[in-house]
Amino acid sequence: MSPPVGDTIAALATAPGRGGIGIVRVSGPGCARVAIGVVGRAPVPRQAELHSFRDAGGSIIDFGLALFFPAPHSYTGEDVLELHGHGGPVVMDLVLARVLELGARAASPGEFTQRAFLNDKLDLAQAEAVADLIDSGSAQAARAAVRSLEGGFSTQVRELAEAVLQLRLWVEAAIDFPEEEIDFLADSGLRGRMADLRARFVQLDAAARQGALLRDGLTLVIAGRPNAGKSSLLNRLAGYDAAIVTAAPGTTRDVLRERIEIDGLPVHVLDTAGLRASADEIEREGIRRAEREIARADRVLFVVDAADPDAVAAIATDLAALPGATPATVVFNKIDRSNASDHLEPADPPRLFLSALTGEGLDLLRRHLKECVSYATPGEGTLSARRRHLEALRRAREHVEEAERLLLERGGGELVAQELSDAQQALGEITGEISSDELLGRIFASFCIGK
């Protein structure tokens, strides 16, 4: 995909709705023409100027600031014009309509940042960090996104790719100069560099996983028999009465969703209908939806009434009936009625004892959830990352490990070099040095319009 030529785009860059200030952003070679049509002349570069914004008949639409950033010193690398007016939706719609009337077209989601990528203002990981910063759900996630936007993640990926390249050059030298007396592939130093490279992959993968957790969070489904205390547990985790709690079984009919944070880790908690055989059509639909969410969750909290001997005896049967292969933790609730204390038993699956009524054991549950996903409290080195980055790192690491295996088995140098080349390719996908139009389309389609 190459940068567009002769195409000028425009969009509202601030959130829709009523606000103190609204911004219409324009990018492309037609910015000067748009500026002349709206404010009467092209503004002085990089200076905020107060102007009246006028329609085609010369009538004033609004008063505001105009800023002009000539190419290539702009966000997109193209001419960029920003019109800052009063943030009423009608006013902003009138300003945008005038800009479109002057030859710009409405921008697609993420098209401004896509142009910044295509014009080498950002690499792909940095471009994705822009969206992650906008969508960040915690202060820790925002800080991690800023580090990636500054290039922290990209720098580490490129350093890793450079180390792979140096190894590949070493191996290809052995292939190209077989008459040399030194056997490059038997050099113990090469094996040491392979081991060092593997260790660097592990380190970067761990950092990226923390970043992906900050961005995507953990999807947690609370499941179990009716009246086990699932909704009470949801309310405890949410910190308020998010779900109706009654003594009548089958109160929860649909999936209830809440978002909480555990030391910066976003947790999407879903409370579901009690699992049982039912003749009620509505309840059966609720159970079907519960099973669907269980199958695609990251983890299930299977809640059991610790004071109900029948429910305790049926745990193995109930767990076997759960759909999918989602990891589970058995939560024995109502320990306030069963004379048990809060604790965690490291069984398979783990068993955790708590009371949703009193809150006893809730801190233990929070610690357990962090441990389940190997989440550590974010530090200065935490970077924003996505699942596709983890997948690319995994493939690159596997290629390096295969190259090391071939080297130790004295396999052909050509095979070792090919594995290292494939590792480079996978790493290049992260920064966008190697990408496809389909991949770029998927990534930028998830951005908001105006960014």
Looking at residue 217, its pLDDT comes to 86
Burial of 339 (0-12, 13-18, 19+ CB in 10 A): exposed
The answer on pLDDT for 8 being more than 90 is: yes
Interatomic CA distance for residues 328 and 301, integer angstroms: 6
Interatomic CA distance for residues 71 and 79, integer angstroms: 5
The answer on pLDDT for 248 being more than 80 is: no
Structure confidence by residue, pLDDT tens digits, 129-184 = 998 998 887 888 888 899 999 999 999 999 999 999 988 888 887 776 655 544 55
For domain 133-213+382-432, the CATH superfamily is tRNA modification GTPase MnmE domain 2 (1.20.120.430)
pTM of this prediction?
Answer: 0.79
Phi, psi of 26 (to 5 degrees): -130, 140
Looking at residue 50, its pLDDT comes to 95
The answer on pLDDT for 253 being more than 80 is: no
Looking at residue 59, its pLDDT comes to 95
The answer on pLDDT for 186 being more than 70 is: no
- Fold of the domain spanning 218-297+299-372: Rossmann fold (3.40.50)
Looking at residue 97, its pLDDT comes to 96
The answer on pLDDT for 188 being more than 80 is: no
Interatomic CA distance for residues 287 and 78, integer angstroms: 54
Cβ(99)–Cβ(38) below 8 Å: yes
Looking at residue 434, its pLDDT comes to 76
Interatomic CA distance for residues 270 and 111, integer angstroms: 34
Structure confidence by residue, pLDDT tens digits, 374-391 = 888 766 677 888 889 999
Q: Among 115-129, 314-328, 409-423, where is mean pLDDT lowest?
A: 409-423
Looking at residue 177, its pLDDT comes to 61
CATH architecture entry for 9-122: 2-Layer Sandwich (3.30)
Cβ(369)–Cβ(220) below 8 Å: yes
% of the chain beyond a pLDDT of 70:
91
Range ranked top by mean pLDDT from 101-110, 195-204, 267-276, 339-348: 101-110
Please compute the mean of the pLDDT values over residues 311-317 and round it to a whole number. Answer: 91
Structure confidence by residue, pLDDT tens digits, 398-409 = 999 998 888 777
Range ranked top by mean pLDDT from 29-43, 138-152, 403-417: 29-43
Looking at residue 141, its pLDDT comes to 87
Cβ(334)–Cβ(303) below 8 Å: no
Please state the domain extents for the chain: 9-122, 133-213+382-432, 218-297+299-372
Please compute the mean of the pLDDT values over residues 60-86 and round it to a whole number. Answer: 96
Structure confidence by residue, pLDDT tens digits, 106-138 = 999 999 999 999 999 999 999 999 989 988 878
Task: Name the band, by pLDDT with cuts 50, 70 and 90, for residue 4.
Answer: low
Q: What's the gap between Cα 410 and its chain centre?
A: 41
Q: Among 159-163, 330-334, 446-450, where is mean pLDDT lowest?
A: 446-450
Q: Among 72-81, 86-95, 107-116, 398-407, where is mean pLDDT lowest?
A: 398-407
Mean pLDDT of the residues in the chain: 86
Task: Name the band, by pLDDT with cuts 50, 70 and 90, for residue 81.
Answer: very high
